[in-house]
Amino acid sequence: MSIHRDISALLNNPALCSALLRRLEASLKREFSATNPFRFMEVCGTHTVSLFRSGLASLLPPNIMHLSGPGCPVCVTHDREIACAIELALRPDTLIATFGDLMRVPGPDGRSLKWAKAQGARIEIVYSPQDALALARAASDRTVVFLGVGFETTAPTVAATILAAQKANLSNFTVLCLHKRVPPALEVLCSSENRIHGFLLPGHVCAVTGTAPYRFLPEKYRMPSAVAGFEPADILEGLVSLASQHADKAPDVYNQYSRVVSTAGNPRAMDVLYTVFEETDAVWRGLETIPSSGFAIRPEFAEFDSIKRLDIRLPEVKKNVQCRCGEVLKGRMKPTECPLFGKRCTPSNPVGPCMVSTEGSCAAYHAYKL
């Protein structure tokens, strides 16, 4: 049996999961109850899906509450960013290249890229930024706008694609850079009104950045945190650590996912990332503008920056007061507490982005009937 299969067998071990669940319950029972639960937040769409698909969400002890934070790239994309993408799509000389999830995300007035396509906009779904480069080669009469969304996980690939476009002298390839950084968003969520007792940190993001950028959680906010993998036993071990850190009053950044994540991360990916991008303020759905929470294309690569090349700004938009995704993303509301959940807002007719992506918490609650 390969090492990989050995690990897999261990992680899917029901006896191990039961033991971890018992340990979790015991370590929390003195301080927390069903009416006053330990509130942990995960900030990774893959954790959201894993918790529901494995059934773990329904097996958690009553004195622990799972909150899905701003870990789904599509869900945190702001109305203003969607409005900007639609505006670019409706120009006669552009071709939008995007991942499929973004097509149905409702923007201002419920309009989406899907709506723009129905108006005649040229929009192509791609599976990688490299596909967008191929589109640029094939459509020399149009400026290709690749919609760069996602966190530190996907941003290095997009940065590498810009370097490839530069090398190939592809003058009609641009990126609308909407990439975001996770740590500043977590810092906003550390405020006491969100009543979060610990963060389950995103394994994929940390594989790129390492754990070092999260040291501020224990050091500045005394907030327990744990990087975890995505199998049920990974998540449970991360939760047991959060509970112990809290009980022992010894907050830390526990690295449960050390088979993939290191303290320093992936230096090559980080180097490519910061060669092309620089940190900038960014808007997040529900969290609004957060300083240094996004990436912008450096001036040296301005010819590949849709904002500069196509002279566009993120427009101001009217807030959709019916959509409660912002409250869900801050952990202040469960998806099922939104008055529109399962009624006016369903996966086939989403009112907010959290119902669009499979990694969105509303879509997960809907799919697994919680």
Instruction: Indicate whether 80 belongs to the interface with ligand SF4 (CB under 6 A).
Output: no
- Judged by CB under 6 A, the stretch of 138-146, 199-207, 268-276, 335-343 that binds ligand SF4 is 335-343
Q: Closest CB to ligand SF4 among 74 and 86?
A: 74
Q: Closest CB to ligand SF4 among 83 and 345?
A: 345
346, 360 contact by CB (below 8 A): no
Interface residues for ligand SF4 in 313-332 (CB under 6 A)?
323-325, 328
Instruction: Indicate whether 189 belongs to the interface with ligand SF4 (CB under 6 A).
Output: no
Q: Closest CB to ligand SF4 among 40 and 341?
A: 341
CB of 365: closest distance to ligand SF4 in angstroms? 8
Q: Closest CB to ligand SF4 among 6 and 337?
A: 337
Beta carbons within 10 angstroms of residue 106's beta carbon: 23
Q: 42: buried, middle or exposed (CB in 10 Å: 19+, 13-18, 0-12)?
A: buried
Instruction: Indicate whether 74 belongs to the interface with ligand SF4 (CB under 6 A).
Output: no
Instruction: Indicate whether 340 belongs to the interface with ligand SF4 (CB under 6 A).
Output: yes
β-pairing, 277-284 with 288-297?
A: antiparallel
**Nearest residue relative to ligand SF4 (C-beta):** 352
- Judged by CB under 6 A, the stretch of 31-39, 271-279, 284-292, 340-348 that binds ligand SF4 is 340-348
Four-CA torsion 337, 338, 342, 348, nearest 10 degrees: -140
Instruction: Indicate whether 136 belongs to the interface with ligand SF4 (CB under 6 A).
Output: no
CB of 168: closest distance to ligand SF4 in angstroms? 40
What are 315's two structure tokens? Answer: 């427009």
237, 256 contact by CB (below 8 A): yes
Among 352, 357, 359, 364, the residue binding ligand SF4 under the rule CB under 6 A is 352
Which backbone phi and psi does 112 adopt, to 5 degrees? -140, 175
The full 3-state SS of 176-226, as one line of letters, equals EECCECHHHHHHHHCCHHHCCCEEEECHHHHHHHCCHHHCHHHHHHCCCEE
Instruction: Indicate whether 341 belongs to the interface with ligand SF4 (CB under 6 A).
Output: yes
What are 50's two structure tokens? Answer: 């894993």
Instruction: Indicate whether 41 belongs to the interface with ligand SF4 (CB under 6 A).
Output: no
CB burial of 15-41 (b: ≥16 within 10 Å; e: otherwise) equals eebeebbebbbebbeeebeeeebbbbb
Among 225, 335, 357, 364, the residue binding ligand SF4 under the rule CB under 6 A is 335
CB of 67: closest distance to ligand SF4 in angstroms? 13
Q: Closest CB to ligand SF4 among 45 and 210?
A: 45
346 DSSP 8-state letter:
B
285, 263 contact by CB (below 8 A): no
Among 86, 116, 196, 355, the residue binding ligand SF4 under the rule CB under 6 A is 355
CB of 60: closest distance to ligand SF4 in angstroms? 21
336 DSSP 8-state letter:
G
Please give the size of the binding site for ligand SF4, defined by CB under 6 A: 14
- For ligand SF4, the binding residues (CB under 6 A) are 323-325, 328, 335, 338, 340-341, 345, 351-352, 354-355, 362
